[in-house]
Chains A and B, each alone.
Chain A
Amino acid sequence: MSPGDSVKTTVVDTFRAKAEAVNAIVQEVPSKAAALQYIVDVCASKSPAEILADEPDAEQGPPGPNNMPTRVKRIVAAPELDDADFATLSAACEAKGFICLRNGLRKHLAGIDVGVSTGILGVAASGTCMVNCDKEDVRLAGMICEIHVVFLRKSTIHPDLPSIASQLRQRIGEGVTYTTLISGPSRTADIERVAAVGVHGPLELHVILLED
């Protein structure tokens, strides 16, 4: 399947529109390096993560919006990056005084600042990213963070749900134990049907669209 350029543009546009409709922030960046820099910038500009539960070793700052102490050292988790990218990100984080992790996220279930995932594919019709969460740390990175950043290659965006069936089946066949389709940040409307984001998982979802 090699759809023409104009078709591809439409699919990307649709993806963006539908993802934004569910409160995702969609960004296009020129290069992988820019994407990594984006993570550092996002982490720097957010308010530090609140520590929602006991974490004895965490250095505590002033209370955040929900009256929980905040992290003095911000945490970025990127379990899926390859060695080179992780080294780049890690160095950039260090320069800012952030902790950059690849594993061991169970120690920080009280909450981290940014979690980074790699989307395997996208679904335009619903603004969805599919993430392979086989590894527990990958799953946790997207769950316990305040901002979830997902990298997605434009060429992997499919038009709709039925069109991802064979890809999804293939993953499952390969023995991937946990796969999640993600559309927007976690949300609820359980109190008076008023929409609220960030109930258990991320408060924000950023999708970074990458050229191939």
Chain B
Amino acid sequence: MHEAPNSLSDYRKQIDSALQDDFLRRTLDTFAVAYRANRETIFKEVDERALINQIAESRDKACQRMEELFIQFREKAEKLGVKVHRAATADEANEIIARIARENNVKRVVKSKSMTAEETQLNERLLKDNLIVDETDLGEWIIQLRHEGPSHMVMPAIHLSRYQVADDFTKVTGTKQDTDIQKLVKVARVQLRRKFIAGDMGVSGCNFAIAESGTCTIVTNEGNARMVTTLPRVHVVIAGLDKLTPTLEEALTALLVLPRNATGQRLTTYVSFIHGAGECQASPNGKKTLHIVFVDNGRTEIARDPLFSQVFRCVRCGACANVCPVFRLVGGHKMGYIYIGAIGLILTYFFHGKDIAKVLCQNCVGCEACKNVCAGGIDLPRLIREIRSRLNDELGNDTQAALLGSVMKSRKLFHSLLKFAKYAQKPFTGGTQFQRHLPAIFLGKHGFKALPAIASESFRDRWESIKPIVPNPTQTVAIFSGCAQDFVYPEELEACVKVLGANNVAVEFPFDQTCCGLPLEMMGQRKTSQDVAEQNVRAFAAGKYDAIITLCASCASHLKHNYPNLLEGRPQVLAAAKAFAEKVTDFSSYVHDVLKLGPDNFRNSGEKVTYHASCHLCRGLGVKEAPRALIASAATYVPCEEEEVCCGFGGTYSAKFPEISAQLLEKKLLNVSATGASRLVVDCPGCVMQLKGGVEKQKLGVKVTHISELLAENLKR
């Protein structure tokens, strides 16, 4: 039913077939765009950030008290005639439920949606006892008929068309069914009503298990959970221990976000609070037989993990998939196992094991879109990187990652290899700035875009000759160059130095700096990534500078947000790392917010210029206005559709998943072309590399530059 890829090549084959699925692609495309707009509108009525913080804080506290809450819940619920069970493993949970069915002489089970039951694969177990098990959520029922797993946590059948559904319904009813969706929904109404009536036992999930009162809260739109929990004489609730919530207020707060994030609704149609075994006229004694099975399956252990315990802030809204550019391309069957999207990659590792997770976990471009919308403010991309690092420790390094790690350990080796590449590539570049075949030192195959050549003279080699002379500086800054600009696009840095110098800023370039280490993190090379971070912190005596400027959004967000975390275990540099991180500023923010440059400082060229908002700038650092204002100061800014969607670069990601990277690029370029702009500016050399390569390959005739170059060209003297 669920398949997990064994190897990267196996996985890429699966991805390829998903990319060929036109229906899926169209559906997820429309969905992504519509979702973004709906979400924005529906969140205007509440204070999104405050609510998310509130949820994060209360979930974190609840997670620390999981055991206590369980005891409290059990005590309260048992007084209300509920039998409370606790299962250490998925199998144990299934056995308990199978036993309940046996003891109550159950023949037919009706289920409303529960991700926890999917996690334990409860249906398979109940079928072994020859029980008739029917899913009653429309989407779940459809995929059950097809023997498939869900492709989305909220919309399990989003990958299917009305035609496929009509075929399935034709089969199950024995009557030819129309493809009209409204009619198909009514077919389900008729078929499932009969199943509700015939069911002896209902199985439901639970969104919040409120400990103070022993109450289960269940959220649905279709109303099937109300049927499942009312009609049959037995009701079994299955819930992860993480669903324990101290009080009613916390559940209500989460309900302000969950439906908004899940489906752009203010509230789901039905929110039911089940408080003990109530009236049930189908039972001989007139009372419901009510059981609650709490599933551990590793949860108490995760709850003790200082970093990963934040996964329990998850309310299963599915938003992290809805905004994920990778999900949008490949769909949920290829981006998760049972749990889907960003949280799916993480939970797969914990609930289903490293063998199933090892390949899936690689499929994240690191764009941070998920982190930005998560109902619990979980740092999903960081946790995904962390898992890669654990997987490398547990399963051994893959060769590519290990090679990268060993090269990067030494700045000198790394830099001399880059310089060597410059000579090695000569025969291939054909004299242009693009080479068709890069010697594979740190990049893989990229047929979909032209690759840049290593510059003939790196920034560090040019430094002495271009260093600005500023007699009376107002500020002193240091440049963090990042490898891409140092060795591939030194002209971007040169432009930056020109802008700064012209505005009375003294600029320094500490030579001992090296790669920021993000590529190592992305490949799970934790130890080397920490070494590299330490080296950079030491290379900059942060106290000397008003700011440390970087033109690479990815470096900036890594230096700023991840260095203090990475170096937590190295007390000798931790304080310096924090001071360093504090000073790191992206170029646009520095120029716009600190130097306050604007229309008066630039000659407006009138050129039509559009913008790509790099993931690590617009989400990683939350910088949105500065670059757009600067563009408008120096040219005519033409906004681009989906300006903030990832271009597909993702550093080493584009080498690992070239097919996905290519599709993301393709989309981006379509949007760029549609603006009619003659130039595209970006705040990140990685994106420049991706976009310039795509533009060159497709001969689009759009100039791609860093924003620093646009500004330097139009500086007023």
Judging by beta carbons under 8 Å apart, are B266 and A177 in contact? no
Q: Within 8 Å of chain A (Cβ to Cβ): is B226? A: yes
Complex CA gap A139/B225 in Å reads 12
Query: Given A139-B230, A182-B270 in contact, is the A190-B142 Cβ separation under 8 Å?
Result: yes
Judging by beta carbons under 8 Å apart, are A186 and B273 in contact? no
Query: Given A172-B213, A193-B155, A200-B224 in contact, is the A177-B263 Cβ separation under 8 Å?
Result: no
Query: Given A125-B45, A175-B275 in contact, is the A193-B158 Cβ separation under 8 Å?
Result: yes
Judging by beta carbons under 8 Å apart, are B275 and A198 in contact? no
The CB with the most chain B CB atoms within 10 A, among A133, A173, A193, A199, is that of A199
Which A residues lie within 8 Å of B186 (CB)? 65-66, 198
Judging by beta carbons under 8 Å apart, are A192 and B161 in contact? yes
Q: Which of A30-38, A70-78, A103-111, A112-120 is near enough to bind chain B?
A: A103-111
Q: Within 8 Å of chain A (Cβ to Cβ): is B405? A: no
Judging by beta carbons under 8 Å apart, are B255 and A188 in contact? no
Query: Given A190-B137, A200-B192, A201-B222 in contact, is the A136-B230 Cβ separation under 8 Å?
Result: yes
Judging by beta carbons under 8 Å apart, are A162 and B279 in contact? no
Chain A minimum-CB-distance residue to B250? A165
* In-complex Cβ contact of B267 among A50, A65, A139, A183 (8 A): A183
Which A residues lie within 8 Å of B227 (CB)? 143, 200-201
Judging by beta carbons under 8 Å apart, are B280 and A136 in contact? yes
Query: Given A127-B266, A134-B279, A188-B222 in contact, is the A178-B190 Cβ separation under 8 Å?
Result: no
Min distance, Cβ A125 to any Cβ of chain B, angstroms: 7
Residues 223-259 of B at the A interface (beta carbon under 8 Å): 223-224, 226-227, 229-231, 248-249, 252-253, 255-256
Which B residues lie within 8 Å of A191 (CB)? 138-139, 142, 157, 160, 162, 165, 181, 184-185
Q: Within 8 Å of chain B (Cβ to Cβ): is A135? A: yes
Complex CA gap A68/B189 in Å reads 11
Q: Within 8 Å of chain B (Cβ to Cβ): is A169? A: yes
Min distance, Cβ B22 to any Cβ of chain A, angstroms: 14
- Beta-carbon contacts of A73-115 to B below 8 Å, as 1s and 0s? 0000000000000000000000000000000001001110000
Taking Cβ atoms with an 8 Å cutoff, the residues of A that contact B are: 18, 21-22, 50, 52-53, 65-66, 68, 106, 109-111, 123, 125-128, 133-136, 139-140, 143, 160-162, 164-165, 168-169, 172-173, 175-194, 196, 198-202
Query: Given A53-B194, A190-B156, A199-B222 in contact, is the A172-B189 Cβ separation under 8 Å?
Result: no
Judging by beta carbons under 8 Å apart, are B266 and A18 in contact? yes
Complex CA gap A134/B278 in Å reads 7
Min distance, Cβ A208 to any Cβ of chain B, angstroms: 19
Which B residues lie within 8 Å of A18 (CB)? 266
Query: Given A66-B186, A191-B157 in contact, is the A106-B226 Cβ separation under 8 Å?
Result: no
Q: Within 8 Å of chain A (Cβ to Cβ): is B503? A: no
| CB-CB nearest 9 A-B residue pairs | A177-B278, A201-B223, A190-B139, A186-B223, A126-B267, A126-B266, A190-B138, A181-B271, A196-B185
Q: Within 8 Å of chain A (Cβ to Cβ): is B509? A: no
* In-complex Cβ contact of A52 among B182, B193, B252 (8 A): B193
Complex CA gap A127/B267 in Å reads 9
Judging by beta carbons under 8 Å apart, are A165 and B281 in contact? no
Min distance, Cβ A52 to any Cβ of chain B, angstroms: 4
Query: Given A53-B193, A201-B223 in contact, is the A189-B263 Cβ separation under 8 Å?
Result: yes
Query: Given A183-B266, A189-B263, A193-B31 in contact, is the A135-B279 Cβ separation under 8 Å?
Result: yes
Which B residues lie within 8 Å of A185 (CB)? 269
Which A residues lie within 8 Å of B162 (CB)? 191-192
Q: Within 8 Å of chain A (Cβ to Cβ): is B702? A: no
Min distance, Cβ A68 to any Cβ of chain B, angstroms: 6
Complex CA gap A186/B155 in Å reads 16
Query: Given A161-B256, A194-B181 in contact, is the A187-B222 Cβ separation under 8 Å?
Result: yes
Complex CA gap A52/B231 in Å reads 15
Which B residues lie within 8 Å of A68 (CB)? 190
Judging by beta carbons under 8 Å apart, are B248 and A189 in contact? no
Residues 105-120 of B at the A interface (beta carbon under 8 Å): none
Which A residues lie within 8 Å of B263 (CB)? 189
Judging by beta carbons under 8 Å apart, are A161 and B255 in contact? yes
Residues 167-209 of B at the A interface (beta carbon under 8 Å): 181-190, 192-194, 196-197
* In-complex Cβ contact of A188 among B30, B185, B197, B253 (8 A): B185
* In-complex Cβ contact of B190 among A52, A184, A194 (8 A): A52
* In-complex Cβ contact of B252 among A106, A110, A162, A183 (8 A): A162
Q: Within 8 Å of chain A (Cβ to Cβ): is B268? A: yes
Chain A minimum-CB-distance residue to B230? A139
Judging by beta carbons under 8 Å apart, are B222 and A200 in contact? yes
- Beta-carbon contacts of B114-144 to A below 8 Å, as 1s and 0s? 0000000000000000000000111100100
Q: List 15 A-B contacts (CB under 8 A).
A: A52-B193, A53-B194, A106-B282, A110-B193, A136-B278, A177-B276, A178-B275, A179-B273, A182-B269, A183-B267, A186-B222, A189-B221, A191-B181, A193-B31, A199-B185
* In-complex Cβ contact of B268 among A169, A178, A183 (8 A): A183
Chain B minimum-CB-distance residue to A174? B275
Interface residues on B, range: 35 or more
Chain A minimum-CB-distance residue to B185? A196
Chain A minimum-CB-distance residue to B259? A126
Which B residues lie within 8 Å of A188 (CB)? 138-139, 185, 221-222
Chain B minimum-CB-distance residue to A173? B213
Judging by beta carbons under 8 Å apart, are A186 and B221 in contact? yes
Chain B minimum-CB-distance residue to A106? B281
Q: Within 8 Å of chain A (Cβ to Cβ): is B215? A: yes
Chain A minimum-CB-distance residue to B218? A180
Judging by beta carbons under 8 Å apart, are B226 and A168 in contact? no
Q: Within 8 Å of chain A (Cβ to Cβ): is B274? A: yes
Chain B minimum-CB-distance residue to A105? B281
Complex CA gap A177/B288 in Å reads 11
Which B residues lie within 8 Å of A123 (CB)? 267
Which A residues lie within 8 Å of B271 (CB)? 180-181
Judging by beta carbons under 8 Å apart, are B282 and A177 in contact? no
Judging by beta carbons under 8 Å apart, are B270 and A190 in contact? no
Which B residues lie within 8 Å of A52 (CB)? 189-190, 193-194
Query: Given A110-B193, A162-B249 in contact, is the A184-B269 Cβ separation under 8 Å?
Result: yes
The CB with the most chain B CB atoms within 10 A, among A125, A164, A189, is that of A189
Query: Given A52-B190, A109-B197, A200-B136 in contact, is the A186-B275 Cβ separation under 8 Å?
Result: no
Min distance, Cβ A13 to any Cβ of chain B, angstroms: 15
Complex CA gap A199/B192 in Å reads 9
Judging by beta carbons under 8 Å apart, are A165 and B273 in contact? no
Judging by beta carbons under 8 Å apart, are A136 and B279 in contact? yes
Complex CA gap A85/B207 in Å reads 37
Complex CA gap A114/B205 in Å reads 29
Which B residues lie within 8 Å of A172 (CB)? 213, 215, 248, 273, 275
Judging by beta carbons under 8 Å apart, are B269 and A200 in contact? no
Which A residues lie within 8 Å of B142 (CB)? 190-191
Min distance, Cβ A166 to any Cβ of chain B, angstroms: 9
Query: Given A143-B230, A188-B222 in contact, is the A177-B138 Cβ separation under 8 Å?
Result: no
Complex CA gap A41/B109 in Å reads 39
Q: Within 8 Å of chain A (Cβ to Cβ): is B272? A: yes
Complex CA gap A34/B223 in Å reads 29
Chain A minimum-CB-distance residue to B158? A193
Residues 254-308 of B at the A interface (beta carbon under 8 Å): 255-256, 263, 265-282
